[in-house]
C-alpha cells in the first residue's frame, strides 16, 4: 500500500495549504431545522438531470439527506440506503452487499444504476456495482437521491429498475477542519480527517483521508467467516466560480484495500482442488472527474463532465481484473418557448480491461475494449401553466454487444393545487450484456458420494446474448397535508422480456487422461420473461418541533417463467430473492442538554429462494454535542438478534449485533 501512503501524505500537505489560504466554518443544515414543507420542496437533479422540486417530480423519488445519514449512525453507504423505501439491502459479509430495487436481487444485481456526483460506478464486468469500494467521508455527502423505476431515457442502459445518485457537498460547504474516530466490535476502526478552505474569493477546495477496518462476520457454522475488510482512501474536491456564468468542479479519489477470504487450491481439468487456503482479495483504484457548467442565457445552460476511472480487483485463483474507463458527457438545457423546457445531450464511454484468467474463470478474449455512445432528447411541455405537464423523450445509444438500443419515456404530472401532485409514466428500459454474459467460461469442480471421478459444471457465455428488456407502467400521488404531515405513494407494473437463463446442454463423459470425468455444460440465453407489480408508501410526520417520524412500506410481487425452448428450471426461482414486504419506522429526535436520539425499526420479509426467514431489526444512535464543534455518539445495531442471515442461508454469513463509539469534531 505504498502508493496509497504517499498519496495520503500529499493530501495532508494540501490540507495545510488550504487551511492557510483561509478558513470559514461551514454551516450545515440540520434535519429538524427543515419543515415538512421544506423537505418536500428540496431541489433534486437525478430524475430529469436538471434542478427541480422533489414535490413536483413525475417519478418515484426519495431523498436521504446528509443529516439523516449522520443522525442514524450508519457507517457505510449501503447501510444509508436502508433509509429509503423500496431499496432491497441485504448484507452478505463484512464488505459485500446485495442491493436492488423492484426485484432481481443477487450477488450480481445488474438492473440498478449507481452514480456518485454523476459518475457511473457500474462495472462492465457484470453490469452491477462492487459495493465494497464505494465509500467516502459520510460527513461530506449532501444527499442521496433514489429514483425507483426506469431511468434509461436520460442515463442510458442498465438504469432498468432504478437510479441512485450519491451527491457530495460543494467544497465551499466544507471549509475548516473535520475529524472522526470510531471504534467498536464489528466496525473495529473507522478514522477520517478532512480539511478545506478558500483560495481567493472564487475557489474552494478540500482534501480528506479515511481508513476502515471491519471485523469478519460469522459463518453459518458459527466459525469466523474470514471476510474482514481493511481499506485506506484519500480524495479531494475543488470548486471554482470562475464568473457569474461559469462553474468548474474537479474531484478525485485513490483507494487501496484488502478483504480476507478462503479460496480453493488450483486445479486442472481432470482433478479437484487439493484443498483450501486463506488469502486476501486485493482492491485498488482511482478516479478523476472534471465538470464545467455554464449559464449561457436567461433560459439556457449547458454542462460538460468527463472522468477517468481505474480499478483493479485480484481474487486468488478466480480472476485478476484491471480496468480503465474514460467517459465524456454533454447536456444542453434550454427553453425554446414559454411552455417548453428542452433537454438534450450526448455521451461517449470507452472501457478497456485486462483479465488474468484461471481454470475457474476464463474470459475470452483476456483483454477487451468496449465503446458506448449515444444521445438523448427530452421535452417538458406545460399543457396548462403551473398545473399540467407532459414530458416526452428517448435515449438512443449504440454498444458493442447488441448495437443500437432505444429507451423512450412518456410522463405526465398534474398539480391540482400547490399541495398535490399526481403523475404517471410509461417507459422502456434495457440492460445491455456485460463481459460475464458474452465472454465468460466458468468451470466449477464438484464431487459426489458414489462417483469415483470428478465432474464439472461449465457455464459458457454467448455472443448471441441479447439485451434484457423492460416495459414499465407507473403512477403516483403526493400530498402535503399541512405543515407537519406529508404522504407519498408510487405504484408500478413491470413487464420483462429476454431475461437471462442458464441453459443445460448434453452431458459429456471424458475417459482420456489425466482422469475420467463428467462435464455438465451450460450456456447463457434469453429465454425468460416476467411481470412484477407493487409500490412504495411513506409518510413524514412532525408531531413536535424536536421530533420527526417517518413510516415507509414497500410491496413487490415478481413472477418469472421460462419460454420455449428453455430447459432452465432454476432461473425463475430468482423471484424469491427479494422480500415481498418491507416496513420501516425511523424516528429523529432532539433531546434536552444537546442530546440527539435516532431509533429505527425495520421488518424484512422472508426470501424463499435463499431460505432466509423474515426478520425484525432495530438500531439506536445517541449523540451528545458536548461543545459547539464536538460530539460523541453511541450506536447499537441489530439490537434484537445476536446474529441473523440476510442472504444465502446455509452458504452465507450471519450478520452480528454490533456497537460502536464515535467521536467527531470540527475546527
> In the structure, what pLDDT confidence band is assigned to residue 271 with cuts at 50, 70 and 90?
confident
Mean pLDDT over each residue of the chain, to the nearest integer: 92
Whole-number pLDDT of residue 48: 77
Provide the CATH topology of domain 2-666: Maltoporin; Chain A (2.40.170)
Does residue 254 carry a pLDDT above 60? yes
User: ∠ CA(601), CA(604), CA(610), 5° rounding?
Assistant: 150
**What value does the mean pLDDT take over residues 467-480?**
97
Alpha-carbon torsion angle 145, 150, 154, 159, nearest 10: 80
Under 8 Å between Cβ of 293 and 305: no
Q: Among 157, 124, 119, which residue's Cα sits nearest to residue 287?
A: 119
Answer for the pair 143, 65: CB distance below 8 angstroms, yes or no. yes
Average pLDDT over residues 112-127: 94
**Residue 457 near residue 444, CB atoms below 8 Å:** yes
Q: Which residue has the higher pLDDT, 2 or 568?
A: 568
**C-beta of residue 649 within 8 angstroms of C-beta of residue 627:** no
Task: Pick 125 or 297 by higher pLDDT.
Answer: 125
- From CA 395, how far away is CA 38, in angstroms rounded? 33
CB 175 within 8 A of CB 206: yes
* Cα separation, 114 vs 101, whole angstroms: 12
Spatial distance between the Cα atoms of 160 and 530, rounded to a whole number of angstroms: 14
Give the pLDDT confidence score for residue 650 in this predicted structure. 63
Distance of CA 570 to the CA centre of its chain: 27
- Among all chains, which residue has been given the C-alpha cell 457530495? 168
Determine the pLDDT at residue 25.
Answer: 29
Q: What is the pLDDT of residue 65?
A: 95
The candidate with the shortest Cα–Cα distance to 142, out of 179, 117, 115, is 117
Residue 340: is its pLDDT beyond 80?
yes
Q: Which of 259, 251, 257 is nearest to 232 (CA)?
A: 257
Query: Is residue 20 pLDDT above 80, yes or no?
Result: no
Mean pLDDT of all residues in 412-418: 96
Which of 117, 63, 81 has the alpha carbon at shortest distance from 253? 117
Query: pLDDT per residue over 295-319, tens digit each?
Result: 988 889 999 999 999 999 999 999 9
Residues 347/348/354/358 CA torsion (nearest 10 deg): 50
Express each pLDDT in 577-609 by its tens digit.
999 999 999 999 999 999 999 999 999 999 999
Residue % of the chain over a pLDDT of 70 = 95
Kindly tell me if the per-residue pLDDT of 196 is higher than 90.
yes
Q: Are 480 and 55 a contacting pair, CB within 8 Å? A: yes
Q: What is the pLDDT of residue 299?
A: 85
Q: How confident is the model at residue 252 (pLDDT cuts 50, 70, 90)?
A: very high
Helices (DSSP H) in 62-187: which residue ranges? Answer: 66-72, 77-80, 152-155
Q: Of 572, 419, 437, 533, whose CA–CA distance to 53 is shortest?
A: 419
Q: What is the pLDDT of residue 102?
A: 96
Asked whether the beta carbons of 194 and 139 are under 8 A apart, the reply is: yes
Lowest mean pLDDT among 88-97, 362-371, 640-649: 640-649
Per-residue pLDDT for 78 more than 50? yes
φ and ψ at residue 451, rounded to 5 degrees: -105, 115
Residue with the larger pLDDT of the pair 433 and 22:
433
All structural domains of the chain with their residue ranges: 2-666
In this prediction, residue 663 carries a pLDDT of 97
Q: Which helix (H) or strand (E) holds 591?
A: strand 581-591
DSSP at 453 = S
- From its phi and psi, is residue 280 left (phi > 0), alpha (psi between -120 and 50) or beta? beta
**How many beta carbons lie within 10 A of that of residue 300, not counting itself?**
14
pLDDT, tens digit, 9 for 90 and up, residues 444-465? 999 888 778 888 999 999 999 9
How many other C-beta atoms are found inside a 10 Å radius of the C-beta of residue 365? Answer: 12
Least confident of 93-107, 265-279, 400-414: 265-279
The answer to whether 72 and 83 have CB atoms below 8 angstroms apart is yes
Separation CA 306–CA 308 (nearest Å): 7
Amino acid at each position: 500500500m505504498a502508493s496509497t501512503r504517499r498519496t495520503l501524505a500529499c493530501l495532508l500537505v494540501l490540507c495545510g495549504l488550504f487551511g492557510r489560504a483561509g478558513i470559514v466554518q461551514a454551516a450545515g443544515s440540520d434535519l429538524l431545522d427543515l419543515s415538512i414543507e421544506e423537505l418536500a420542496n428540496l431541489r433534486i437533479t437525478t430524475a430529469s438531470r436538471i434542478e427541480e422540486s422533489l414535490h413536483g417530480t413525475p417519478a418515484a423519488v426519495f431523498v436521504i439527506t446528509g443529516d439523516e445519514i449522520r443522525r442514524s449512525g450508519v457507517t457505510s453507504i449501503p447501510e444509508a440506503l436502508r433509509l429509503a423505501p423500496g431499496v432491497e439491502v441485504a448484507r452478505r459479509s463484512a464488505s459485500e452487499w446485495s442491493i436492488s430495487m423492484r426485484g432481481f436481487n443477487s450477488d450480481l444485481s445488474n438492473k440498478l444504476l449507481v452514480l456518485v456526483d454523476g459518475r457511473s460506478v457500474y462495472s462492465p464486468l457484470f453490469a452491477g456495482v462492487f459495493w465494497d469500494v464505494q465509500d467516502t467521508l459520510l460527513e461530506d455527502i449532501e444527499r442521496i437521491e433514489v429514483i425507483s423505476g426506469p431511468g434509461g431515457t436520460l442515463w442510458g442502459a442498465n438504469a432498468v429498475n432504478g437510479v441512485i445518485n450519491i451527491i457530495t457537498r460543494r467544497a465551499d460547504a466544507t471549509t475548516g477542519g473535520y475529524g472522526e474516530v470510531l471504534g467498536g466490535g464489528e466496525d473495529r476502526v473507522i478514522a477520517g480527517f478532512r480539511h478545506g478552505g478558500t483560495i481567493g474569493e472564487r475557489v474552494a477546495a478540500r482534501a480528506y483521508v479515511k481508513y476502515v477496518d471491519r471485523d469478519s462476520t460469522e459463518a453459518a457454522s458459527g466459525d469466523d467467516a474470514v471476510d474482514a475488510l481493511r481499506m485506506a482512501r484519500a480524495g479531494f474536491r475543488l470548486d471554482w466560480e470562475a464568473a457569474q456564468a461559469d462553474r468548474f468542479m474537479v474531484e478525485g479519489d485513490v483507494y487501496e484495500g484488502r478483504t480476507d477470504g478462503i479460496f480453493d487450491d488450483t486445479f486442472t481439468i481432470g482433478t479437484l482442488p487439493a484443498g483450501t487456503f486463506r488469502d486476501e482479495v486485493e482492491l485498488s483504484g482511482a478516479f478523476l472527474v472534471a465538470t464545467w457548467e455554464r449559464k449561457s442565457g436567461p433560459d439556457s445552460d449547458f454542462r460538460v463532465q468527463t472522468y477517468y476511472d481505474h480499478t483493479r480487483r485480484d481474487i486468488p485463483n478466480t480472476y485478476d481484473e484491471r480496468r480503465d474507463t474514460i467517459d465524456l458527457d454533454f447536456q444542453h438545457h434550454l427553453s425554446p418557448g414559454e411552455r417548453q423546457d428542452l433537454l438534450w445531450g450526448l455521451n461517449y464511454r470507452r472501457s478497456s480491461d485486462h483479465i488474468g484468467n484461471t481454470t475457474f474463470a476464463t474470459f475470452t478474449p483476456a483483454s477487451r475494449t468496449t465503446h458506448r455512445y449515444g444521445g438523448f432528447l427530452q421535452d417538458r411541455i406545460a399543457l396548462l401553466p403551473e398545473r399540467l405537464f407532459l414530458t416526452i423523450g428517448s435515449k438512443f445509444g449504440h454498444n458493442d454487444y447488441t448495437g443500437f438500443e432505444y429507451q423512450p419515456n412518456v410522463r405526465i404530472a398534474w398539480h391540482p393545487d400547490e399541495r398535490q401532485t399526481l403523475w404517471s409514466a410509461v417507459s422502456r428500459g434495457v440492460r445491455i450484456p456485460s463481459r460475464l454474459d458474452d465472454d465468460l467460461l466458468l468451470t466449477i469442480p464438484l464431487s459426489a458420494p458414489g462417483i469415483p471421478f470428478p465432474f464439472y459444471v461449465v457455464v459458457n457465455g454467448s455472443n448471441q446474448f441479447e439485451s434484457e428488456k423492460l416495459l414499465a407502467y407507473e403512477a403516483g400521488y403526493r400530498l402535503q397535508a399541512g405543515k407537519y404531515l406529508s404522504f407519498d405513494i408510487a405504484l408500478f407494473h413491470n413487464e420483462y422480456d429476454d431475461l437471462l437463463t442458464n441453459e443445460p446442454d448434453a452431458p459429456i463423459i471424458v475417459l482420456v487422461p489425466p482422469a475420467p470425468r463428467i462435464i455438465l455444460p451450460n450456456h447463457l440465453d434469453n429465454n425468460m420473461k416476467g411481470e412484477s407489480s407493487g409500490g412504495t408508501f411513506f409518510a413524514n410526520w412532525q408531531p413536535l418541533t424536536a421530533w420527526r417520524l417517518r413510516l415507509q412500506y414497500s410491496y413487490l410481487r415478481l413472477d418469472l417463467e421460462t419460454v420455449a425452448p428453455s430447459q432452465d428450471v432454476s432461473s425463475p426461482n430468482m423471484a424469491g430473492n427479494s422480500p415481498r414486504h418491507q416496513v420501516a419506522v425511523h424516528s429523529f429526535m432532539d433531546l434536552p442538554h444537546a442530546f440527539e436520539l435516532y431509533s429505527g425499526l425495520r421488518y424484512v420479509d422472508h426470501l424463499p429462494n435463499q431460505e432466509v426467514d423474515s426478520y425484525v431489526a432495530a438500531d439506536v444512535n445517541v449523540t451528545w454535542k458536548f461543545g459547539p464543534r464536538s460530539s460523541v455518539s453511541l450506536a447499537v445495531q441489530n439490537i434484537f438478534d445476536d446474529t441473523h442471515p440476510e442472504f444465502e442461508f446455509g452458504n452465507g454469513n450471519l450478520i452480528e449485533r454490533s456497537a460502536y463509539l464515535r467521536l467527531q469534531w470540527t475546527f
